[in-house]
Amino acid sequence: MKVLVINCGSSSLKYQLLNPSTGELFAIGLCDRIGIANSKLEYEIPATDFELEINQDLPNHKIALELVVKTITDKEHGVVASIEEIDAIGHRIVHGGEKFAYSVMLDETVLAAIEENNELAPLHNPANLMGVRTCMELMPGKPNVAVFDTAFHQTMPAKAFMYPLPYADYTELKVRKYGFHGTSHLFVSNEMNRIMGNPEHSKIIVCHLGNGASITAVQDGKSVDTSMGLTPLQGLMMGTRCGDVDPATVLFIKNKRNLTDKEMDDRLNKQSGILGIFGKSSDCRDMENGIKAGDERAILAEDMMIYRLKSYIGAYSAAMGGLDAICFTGGIGENSAAIREGAVKGLEFIGAKIDTAINSTRKKGIVKLSTEDSRVLIYKIPTNEELVIARDTYKIVNENK
């Protein structure tokens, strides 16, 4: 079986062709700057390290996807002879609202139901749906499956997902915590459970730290709380997103600075986080280089990130009444020894002790970071959201046969 995984953003289209059973990756790539000048397609065959970059005008997603299909079926450097070899298409859909606790086969009714959530994720969902419609048009008859970022968190109890606002804001406007990065939290917590020998009961904290960052408490395989909320703005401090602030600051700054709604939204989503505090970049590597150079705002930014992360680890350990493992994933979680060490340093009182020597090596793959006498396991586990999407697609297609 070969599944094409599509992750459509407003100006990008990431794709992977893979075998959901073995995880074998046939091709991986990205169309960048769709609808903007200097658009291009990147294509890679991991088995042979073959790489190709095509600089071509990609005015819309349909033309971008046509180029993806043309490239993966190309006689010289393709990985399949024709699209007939592609069995199904799996789509990342950011917001499934309360309707979708599981992945689902896409049809017009499901598309309409997903569209109802567009206003909850205005930057992501319309782009995701455009990807689905384009695939349906270009590859008619192929099964398309939706895999939601929010689905894994639908197991949260009401006491965790409700905001203490007037109840009608929940019933009438669907305002509640939904959580995101669900496929990543699911993949990493499953891996951790597998490493622990699949115990009947487990208490795991997954820290997904990338440009976007969220942390999830996973008890007995189920998400019981997560740091992102109605939108992916709540929770941890991120690359350009502020995470938790007093809600009153929003109106205060907006009024004082005389900003429009859009300007205020941009301030919180695009000008805050690492970028807001450090000032020079939103990138963790730049911040860490700043720290080496003695930049005080870089030092403050990292201190804040670590402090907030540690506070969540403490809160979620308390919420679960204990802790068996802490896992780090995402670009920062997998690569920044300083953030990992900072986040767990001082947590010996809950039984978590990091081996600083192992933590600072650049070993790839799954790495155990806790000391032998640490009661709580600490692991670095590379995430693989595409594999979760491909596996779910395979499962749903088989169930619908």
Which of the stretches 91-99, 141-149, 218-226, 330-338 binds ligand AMP when contact is defined by CB under 6 A? 330-338
Closest alpha carbon to 341 in 295, 303, 314: 303
Which CB sits closer to ligand AMP, 193 or 336? Answer: 336
The alpha-helical segments, DSSP class H, found in 225-283 are: 248-257, 261-270, 273-278
DSSP 126-171: HHHHHHHHHHHHHSTT--EEEEESSGGGGG--HHHH--SS-HHHHH
Which CB sits closer to ligand AMP, 210 or 232? Answer: 210
Q: Is 301 in the site for ligand AMP (CB under 6 A)?
A: no
When binding is defined by CB under 6 A, the residue of 266, 283, 295, 355 that contacts ligand AMP is 283
What residues from 208 to 227 belong to the interface with ligand AMP (CB under 6 A)? 210-211
When binding is defined by CB under 6 A, the residue of 43, 330, 378, 397 that contacts ligand AMP is 330
Q: Is 11 in the site for ligand AMP (CB under 6 A)?
A: no
Q: Quote the least distance from Cβ 80 to ligand AMP, whole Å.
A: 28
If 0-12 CB within 10 Å is exposed, 13-18 middle and 19+ buried, where does residue 27 land? buried
When binding is defined by CB under 6 A, the residue of 97, 143, 273, 331 that contacts ligand AMP is 331
Structure-token pair, residue 56: 């071509």
- Cβ count near 184 (within 10 Å): 24
Closest alpha carbon to 87 in 133, 138, 142: 142
Q: Is 194 in the site for ligand AMP (CB under 6 A)?
A: no
When binding is defined by CB under 6 A, the residue of 336, 359, 374, 393 that contacts ligand AMP is 336
Backbone angles phi and psi of 89, in degrees to 5 = -125, 130
CA count, 13 A, side-chain hemisphere, 117: 25
Q: Quote the least distance from Cβ 67 to ligand AMP, whole Å.
A: 24
Question: One-letter amino acid identity for 376?
Answer: V
Q: Is 96 in the site for ligand AMP (CB under 6 A)?
A: no
Q: Quote the least distance from Cβ 334 to ligand AMP, whole Å.
A: 8
Which own/partner contact pairs does 18-23 have at CB distance under 8 Å and 24+ positions apart?
18/386, 18/387, 18/390, 19/390, 20/387, 20/390, 20/391, 20/393, 20/394, 21/394, 23/384, 23/387
When binding is defined by CB under 6 A, the residue of 285, 300, 311, 400 that contacts ligand AMP is 285
Q: Quote the least distance from Cβ 393 to ligand AMP, whole Å.
A: 22
Q: Is 289 in the site for ligand AMP (CB under 6 A)?
A: no
**Catalytically active residues, by annotation:** 149
Give CA–CA dist 334/223, Å, rounded: 21
Give CA–CA dist 98/111, Å, rounded: 15
Q: Is 332 in the site for ligand AMP (CB under 6 A)?
A: yes
Give CA–CA dist 286/294, Å, rounded: 12
Q: Is 367 in the site for ligand AMP (CB under 6 A)?
A: no
Q: Quote the least distance from Cβ 335 to ligand AMP, whole Å.
A: 3
Number of residues that bind ligand AMP (CB under 6 A): 12
Q: Is 305 in the site for ligand AMP (CB under 6 A)?
A: no
Residues found near ligand AMP in the complex (CB under 6 A): 210-211, 239, 283-285, 288, 330-332, 335-336
